[in-house]
Amino acid sequence: MPGFEWLGKEESDAVAEVMQRGVLFRYEFDEQRQGIYLVKQFEQAMAEFTGAAAACAVSSGTAAVKVGLAALGVGYGDEVITQGFTFVATWEAILDCGAKPVFCEIDETLCMDPADLEKKITDKTKAIVPVHMMGAQARIKQIKAIADAKGIAVMEDTAQALGGTLEGRHLGTFGHMGSLSFDAVKTLTTGEGGMVISNDPALVLNASEYQDHGHDHKPVGRGNEGRRFMGFNYRMMELQGALGLVQLKKLPDMLATMRKNKAALKEALKRVPGVSFREVLDEAGDSATFLAWFHETPEQAQRFAGLLADNGAAAIPWGANTWHAYSHWEHLHDGASLPSGGWPFARPDGPAEYDPAVLPKTAEILSRCLSWQIMLNWDEAKLKQMTEAINRAVAEL
Ligand SMILES: Cc1ncc(COP(=O)(O)O)c(C=O)c1O
């Protein structure tokens, strides 16, 4: 998913133009910036691309989850359900809102298991955060139906799946809000950056004012000096807006390239005995940032991972990954935080405690799962080398 591979002259020129105007701030300085507001343009272009009613840019994908939840009114006393296979950012943001993360299992989509989700809902559940992991769809329609029946908000963490769709509709637009990331390894990169998107302009207005210290963004722009609520600073810079606009133009080609590269490797992997693929609900809408597959046992996955590495095509063994798998988040299990009082794990509404063993299905699925991140600059020679590595690994099995 790396847009950094295609950073080029267009991005350099766009950044240079911002420097020439000399306004790095996304708001105000109207005369000096000659009426040009690039972060705002980036928001409008992303809303148009995804089909969302509105968008609000922020400083990171982590901030986007936090700002999206804040816009929904999530806070202390609330529970927010997310999945045990995601980047730590998802639950960091929930805890930073003051709410308690509750973790549910994944299934073969590598995303939230709706059956386990239903079991985890309590009368304190304020929001559900399904994560479209590794480029493809969570069972978002089912999840949204479960949430709707109980009046619970859905905020889709779409950090890893920009450009992904389900039945033609963009991921991130099914729930009340969606969050995006443009960090250094994402498909569209601005170095750091993120965005929330929604079909509800009132929620985006909440997000917009929250990420800007509560400045009043209505009725005429910013800084009318009425404040509806307190906020924080999660603002995006003009330089990132400039980069985002250029990268967004490249996004359709990036998606097509990743889909082509992924298809070639998937074909080659079909020869591996006992391999099955991650369930993708809508192949046409897979953003193709990763190719993920399963072996029949953890031992077979480990053995094949070793053979691939020996043959120059190392894959990610998700069972051993410490940043994305619940069973490996030791600081969460230990309730480790900086404040001497133990916040947000020690808390008046009862401690937030996490047993590493409570998601056995997730641990089992990940123990058999390997994947490659799909790169943009893989040429025919590289795809051939990887295909040969697969063939050699199969021969050595
Ligand atoms: C699922 C998920 N959510 C949130 C984030 C956080 O994004 P950022 O790195 O832009 O803060 C990431 C980043 O990798 C992610 O993978």
86 pocket-lining for ligand 1 (C-beta < 6 Å): yes
Cβ of residue 62 lying under 6 Å from some atom of ligand 1? yes
Q: Where in the chain is the domain with CATH 3.90.1150.10?
A: 251-396
Q: What is the pLDDT of residue 1?
A: 63
- Rounded to the nearest angstrom, the distance between the alpha carbon of 44 and the centre of ligand 1 is 22
Q: What is the pLDDT of residue 221?
A: 73
Sequential pLDDT tens for the chain (397 residues): 689 999 999 999 999 999 999 999 999 999 999 999 999 999 999 999 999 999 999 999 999 999 999 999 999 999 999 999 999 999 999 999 999 999 999 999 999 999 999 999 999 999 999 999 999 999 999 999 999 999 999 999 999 999 999 999 999 999 999 999 999 999 999 999 999 999 999 999 999 999 999 999 976 678 767 899 999 999 999 999 999 999 999 999 999 999 999 999 999 999 999 999 999 999 999 999 999 999 999 999 999 999 999 999 999 998 888 899 999 999 999 999 999 999 999 999 999 999 999 999 999 999 999 999 999 999 999 999 999 999 999 999 8
Fold of 3-249: Aspartate Aminotransferase; domain 2 (3.40.640)
Which of 87, 91, 92 should be mutated for ligand 1, with most atoms under 8 A from CB?
A: 87
Give dist(CA 53, CA 277) in Å, integer: 35
Domain 251-396 class, CATH top level: alpha beta
Tell me the DSSP string of 297-357.
SHHHHHHHHHHHHHTT---EEGGG-TTTBGGG-HHHHTT--SSTT-TTTS-TT------TT
Task: List, as one string, the DSSP characters of 86-131.
Answer: S-THHHHHHHHTTPEEEEE-B-TTSSB-HHHHHHH--TTEEEEE-B
Q: Whose CA is closest to atom 16 on ligand 1? A: 87
The three state secondary structure string of 259-301 is HHHHHHHHHHHCCCCCCEECCCCCHHHCCCCEEEEECCCHHHH
* Cβ of 158 less than 6 Å from ligand 1: no
Residue partners of 364: CB distance under 8 A and separation at least 6: none
pLDDT of residue 393: 94
Q: Is 87 in the pocket of ligand 1 (CB under 6 A)?
A: yes
Nearest CA to ligand 1 atom 7: 61
**Angstrom distance (rounded) from CA 133 to CA 156:** 11
Q: Quick check: CB of 89 below 6 Å from ligand 1?
A: yes
Residue 327 in contact with ligand 1 by CB distance below 6 A: no
What is the residue with the minimal CA distance to atom 8 of ligand 1? 61
Alpha carbons 218 and 228: distance in angstroms, whole number: 10
Q: Where in the chain is the domain with CATH 3.40.640.10?
A: 3-249
Instruction: Indicate whether residue 160 lines ligand 1 (CB < 6 A).
Output: yes
What tokens does 45 get?
Answer: 């272009």
The rounded Å distance from CA 2 to ligand 1 centre is 13
- The catalytic site residues sit at 186
pLDDT digit string (tens) for 29-75? 999 999 999 999 999 999 999 999 999 999 999 999 999 999 999 99
| Ligand 1 probe mutation, 88, 91, 160, 324, most atoms within 8 A of CB | 160
